[in-house]
Amino acid sequence: MTGYTRTPNTLKGALIYFGAPMLIPIPNIIVFQYNPETMSRSLTPWQPPTRQTSLDENGVIQQADLSNEQKLALSQPYDPQETFSLDLILDATDALEKPETHPVAFVSGVADRISAIEMLMYPPGDSLLGGLLGTVAGSVSVSAGGTSIGGNIAGAMEQLERRQVPIVLFFWGPGRIVPVRVTSLTVEEQQYSPLLYPTRAKASIGLRVLDLNDLVRVSGDPASGAAVEIAKACYLFTRGQKELLATANLANSVESIINMMPV
């Protein structure tokens, strides 16, 4: 006899970060400890320019060329801008019950997971700490007359030059795998360990979907090229599923039309 569970296994959402400087980037997967109960999603279509008007010498309102306005009224050169907003709960309580098998959680609570999410907003590459300190040390010179700040300003600017933020995939089941950029992050730390590392927190994350116009390769970076191709494939795959589901809705439309007919 085959048994069925009343609580089926549910996939976990995740943020997949492509940041390894390799020919084929190895992803760093941040799996959600708990799937958020709700998630806000918004789509904002491209807005045509507002109508241009002017006043003639008699103070009469003159409209611009209406033919151009009519062409732009229904134009849609880009996909709608899609954004997500979700809250993640991070809790180290279960891990702290077995510190021998969870040494990272025993020492730092959920700080490692918070940091992993925060690093999605930083450009990949070498640590900036050593280079920044070296630049500051080289720019400050001490003389008998006092301290002066000078040196190579152009060199400092070159040292602080930043690369693009990493490409991140938002995984929400097989029906939604889209490349995103983290646009906002608010962390509410709720409990702390004796060392004041957070052991429980809520992370509110804002994401913006990157469309094909956003996904461009970084010149001279082979890792960027591979990550971009993966991101484009995921975007097109999710877009194709939307179109397929929209077509499947025709069956509901036919049923609705039939129900509208008088009996």
Mean pLDDT for each consecutive 10-residue tract of the chain (263 residues)? 61 86 68 95 84 63 59 76 96 89 91 93 64 42 39 49 76 94 96 94 96 74 72 94 89 65 63
- The 3-state DSSP class for residue 40 equals strand
Q: Does 213 share its domain with 152?
A: no
Asked whether the whole model's pTM tops 0.75, one would answer: no
CA 129 vs. chain centroid, Å, equals 25
Q: Does 204 share its domain with 137?
A: no
Closest CA to 190 of 177, 204, 176: 204
Domain containing 257 equals: 11-18+69-123+168-263
Q: Does 177 share its domain with 119?
A: yes
- Amino acid 110: pLDDT: 95
- Amino acid 253: pLDDT: 65
Query: How many CB atoms sit inside 10 A of residue 25's CB?
Result: 21
- Amino acid 248: pLDDT: 86
Residue 220 domain-assigned (yes or no) = yes
- Amino acid 145: pLDDT: 42
- Amino acid 68: pLDDT: 61
- Amino acid 123: pLDDT: 78
Cα distance between residue 212 and residue 226, in whole Å: 15
- How far, in Å, are 188, 223, 248 from residue 253 at the CA level? 45, 46, 9
Cα distance between residue 231 and residue 210, in whole Å: 9
Residue 153 domain-assigned (yes or no) = yes
Q: What is the DSSP letter of 20?
A: -
Query: How many CB atoms sit inside 10 A of residue 48's CB?
Result: 14
- Amino acid 217: pLDDT: 65
